[in-house]
Chains A and B, each alone.
Chain A
Amino acid sequence: MNRIASAGFAVLAIATGILILLGYFINVPAVADFRLILLEWAVILAGVAALVGVGNLFSVHLQRVRQRVKGSTYSLLLLVSLLISLFLGVTPGLEAAQHIMLNAIMIPIEISLMALLAVSLTYAGIRLLRHRPTPIAILFIVTVLLVLLGTGAWPLIGQLSVFSDLRAIVAQVLAAGGARGILIGVALGTLTTGLRVLLGADRPYGGK
């Protein structure tokens, strides 16, 4: 029975995938309309999946609080914040409170984490030179420094044209060329991964 169900899911997924794909290439109104309906369904289902995920997050942290494991205070804080956010989000007339929550709590916290990243990455650069002092690693660090020196103005002196010109060459010629090469590789990988799903070789919906 499981096998029949699995084959049924595969046929449904492959047929849907092919229809969506054909909608991009063939300009037939019926196909385009059907594609639009399927995409709308997908968006609704993704929203439901996000809700299920939040439920999962809630249950994991509730379990941690019940078991009083190490760090359960943070889990409790998460649960309380989640319930407050939910209340503010679904109660009509509390739009101002929602904005305050977003602009005064969430965005500053995310910006703080971003600032923390600057420190983490500087430390990572130093560690890279200490643990892996290969020619490529040295080239990496020198390039980073060069780009940094050419990005901002120096105190009293202002922008140094030597560094800004070098930065422009590195960023717009060398880095852009390399980035395009990597992106072409990623695009080809994306294409073949998608085709594997369309051919039914990969079935993320049936655990295969």
Chain B
Amino acid sequence: MESLHWLALGIVVLTSIGIVIAALLVGRKPPTFRDIPAFRQIRRAVSMVVEDGSRLHISLGRGSLLTPFGASALAGLSMLRQLGETTSLSDRPSIATSGDGVVNLAAQDTLRSAHEALRISKPFDINRGQLTGLTPFSYAAGALPIMRDNQISTNVLIGNYGIEIALMTEAAEREGSAVVAASDNLPAQAVLYATTPGTLIGEELFAAGAYNQAGNFHIASLLAQDVLRWLVILALLAGAILKALGVF
């Protein structure tokens, strides 16, 4: 095995151990996070949905779970579980859309679990999780009528998108509904910055669970992310200094 493989395996194993230890420790003393306005907006939107009988639309993007873009869909699914549980009791329970078959099944399963966890007598409507298209633009185009026709008050767009996300934010703007959005794709982040105030930039997307009380493991993984970031910064600085000194 090459040395780089050993290094990568070491990082994975040490990070896993770090997350488990941190998850055990944060239960005793939860850390304080910096304020991210988008997460505050989501909490406000959830209470509004329950109070005024409007609906929440959670879009999970078009990232396939078989690709590295699946991580953003997983972050979205984790958020869906939290929001699904909170809004299942409202008159109009939340709707999830996605652009990938596997993510769509996972979304339906997540919404069903949230529904069953609350022991609601009304049967679960499987069409609350919808696949709206399998290509980027067909997905966005398919999501537009859902944003228009379902009395949506807030759209939470978390997942993998390209620049086509502008069509969705534009539609939300026209309908007067709020948007909280995050993508792991750089052009989409630039588009989001211009189109919507409630934008999560960069790795903030992966902090969704920790900010929405999804459990100790989410907080622990956020702490692990911070530690790893500092290690990367130190490695970059050390590399730059060594290069300047002519070591390599």
Contacts and interface: CB of A to CB of B under 8 A. Distances in A.
A185 B129 CA distance: 30
Interface string A99-132: 0000000000110011011001101110110011
A166 interface: no
Contacts of B130: 56-57, 60
B203 interface: yes
Contacts of A186: 184, 202-203, 205-206
Given A49-B102, A120-B167, A121-B166, A184 B75 contact: no
A141 to B, nearest CB: 8
Interface string A172-208: 0000000101111110111111111111011011111
A52 B101 contact: yes
Given A26-B1, A46-B64, A204-B110, A189 B203 contact: yes
Q: Identify whether the interface residues of B are mostly helix, strand, loop, or mixed.
A: helix
Contacts of A60: 127, 130
A42 B66 CA distance: 8
Nearest to B134: A50
B164 A117 contact: yes
B224 A201 contact: no
Contacts of B108: 56
A43 B65 CA distance: 10
Given A54-B131, A196-B221, A21 B164 contact: no
B244 interface: no
A27 B1 contact: yes
Interface in B73-126: 74-75, 77-78, 81, 100-102, 104-106, 108-110, 112-114, 126
Contact of B195 (A124, A194, A195): A124
Interface stretch (A67-75, A87-95, A148-156): A67-75
B145 interface: yes
Contacts of B12: 21, 191, 195
B149 A71 contact: yes
A97 to B, nearest CB: 19
Interface residues of B, number: 83
A188 B229 contact: yes
> Interface size bucket, A side?
35 or more
Contacts of A121: 163, 166, 191, 194-195
A193 B221 contact: yes
B19 A199 contact: yes
A149 B206 CA distance: 36
B218 A196 contact: yes
Most chain B C-beta atoms within 10 Å of own C-beta, residue among A26, A196, A206: A196
Interface string B13-29: 00110011001000000
B124 to A, nearest CB: 11
B197 interface: yes
Contact of B71 (A114, A179, A193): A193
Interface string A20-57: 01001111000000000000001101111111111011
A159 interface: no
B19 to A, nearest CB: 6
Interface of B: 1, 5-6, 8-9, 11-12, 15-16, 19-20, 23, 64-66, 68, 71-72, 74-75, 77-78, 81, 100-102, 104-106, 108-110, 112-114, 126-127, 129-135, 137-138, 140-142, 145, 148-149, 163-164, 166-167, 169-170, 184, 186, 189, 191, 193-195, 197, 201-203, 205-207, 209, 215, 217-218, 221-222, 224-225, 228-229, 232
The 8 closest A-B pairs by CB, nearest first: A207-B113, A189-B206, A49-B101, A53-B131, A201-B217, A50-B101, A185-B203, A190-B71
Interface of A: 21, 24-27, 42-43, 45-54, 56-57, 59-60, 63, 69-71, 74, 109-110, 113-114, 116-117, 120-121, 123-125, 127-128, 131-132, 140, 179, 181-186, 188-199, 201-202, 204-208
